[in-house]
Structures are given as structure tokens and as C-alpha cells.
Amino acid sequence: MFKKLNILDESDKILRKTSVDAKLPLSQEYKDLIERMITELTYSQIEEYEKKYDLRPGMGLAFPQLGINERIIVIVHEYEDGKFQNYVFVNPKIVSSSNEIIAAEAGEGCLSVNRDVEGHVPRNARVTVEGYDVDGNKIKVRAREELSIAFQHEIDHLNGILFYDRIDKNKPFYSEDEIRLI
């Protein structure tokens, strides 16, 4: 039985707090919550389920968005039509990043921001992220392009940063000459 998650709105103060490291291995309660997050994120990217359950499309969630001030992120990346790769990182850290800066041409959205926010969010084109899986094993991923943006967006949540904080108020949009838009 599918039950929607209660995702906090941007007005909630917990979204502006720096999260604390999660204790490993994760509790069964947290593992169950992560499974629910994966299901909802997957469903939100499949049109039939998105409509059936009235979901907003999203590819990532961080624990603070659910009111839990711990460093855990979940990303469900549709790498090919109808094919998804799940990334669950506990206590993630960006250990290296490219000099090349990109931005999502359409801008970014967030499941905690229930309004359109105009502007490009500059992000590193590639990042290497290290952290732990739910059982406490060390994991590492090299993310590029859209997936790199998702990791940076979700890790920002762990540091109390919302995507629109990174939009330059004086110059919200970039041309293709200034930044690579994807």
C-alpha cells in the first residue's frame, strides 16, 4: 500500500539547519523510510503513477526534508527511459569536483519548494562523492551532468542550503557562452 511521504515545505526551519552525521549501521526504521523514499521518487518519475498518486516529479530527497536532521540522501536517477539507478548515501561528502561549471537550462526544482523559481544554479559538471551505504560500508560514486547536479542539490540540503540560495540575484540567467547549460 503506497502512502505519500510528508515532505516539509521551504518555510520549515529544519531545512536551514546543518544536519548531524547519521549513526551506522542504520536502524531498520531508517532503512524502511529509505525504501519509501525510493518508491516515491521512482513513482514520481513514471507518468502513470505520478498522476495516480498526485506526485510532483523529483529525483532526490534528503532526510531533513522529512524532518530528520541527519546526513542521509536518496537519489533515483532515470538513466535510460524506464530504467532507474538508486543512490543511497549516508554521511556523503564531495571529495573532488571538476572546474567546469554547468546549470540545468530549465533551472532546478525541489520537492520542498512548491513554487517556480527562475534562474540558473551554477554546479560542478562532475563530482566524486564518498559516504556509506545503509550497512556502514564505504561507497564512492563519480557523478556527471544531471546526476552531479542532483548530488550537489541533495548534499546542500544537509548543510541548510536551498537551490535558490545559489542563484545570482543580479544575474539569474547565463548564456551558453558563460556556462554550459544542460
Residues 50-85 have pLDDT tens digits of 999 999 999 999 999 999 999 999 999 999 999 999
**β-sheet with 180-181: strand ranges across:** 123-124, 101-103, 180-181
Q: Tell me which residues of the chain have a pLDDT lower than 50.
A: none
pTM (2 decimals)?
A: 0.97
- Residue 180's beta-bridge partner residues? 102
Q: What cell does 101 get?
A: 561549471
The per-residue pLDDT for 109 is: 97
For residue 139, the tally of other CB atoms under 10 A from its CB is 14
Q: How far apart are CA 10 and CA 3, in angstroms?
A: 22
List domains and CATH numbers for the chain.
Answer: 21-181 (3.90.45.10)
The residue length of the chain stands at: 182
**Are 163 and 117 spatial neighbours (Cβ–Cβ below 8 Å)?**
yes
The per-residue pLDDT for 1 is: 84
Q: How far apart are CA 93 and CA 139, in angstroms?
A: 11
Residue 182 gets which letter from DSSP?
-
Among 112, 136, 129, CA closest to 6: 112
Residue 100 appears among annotated catalytic residues: no
**Are 132 and 93 spatial neighbours (Cβ–Cβ below 8 Å)?**
no
Q: 10, 146, 154, 176: which one is catalytic? A: 154
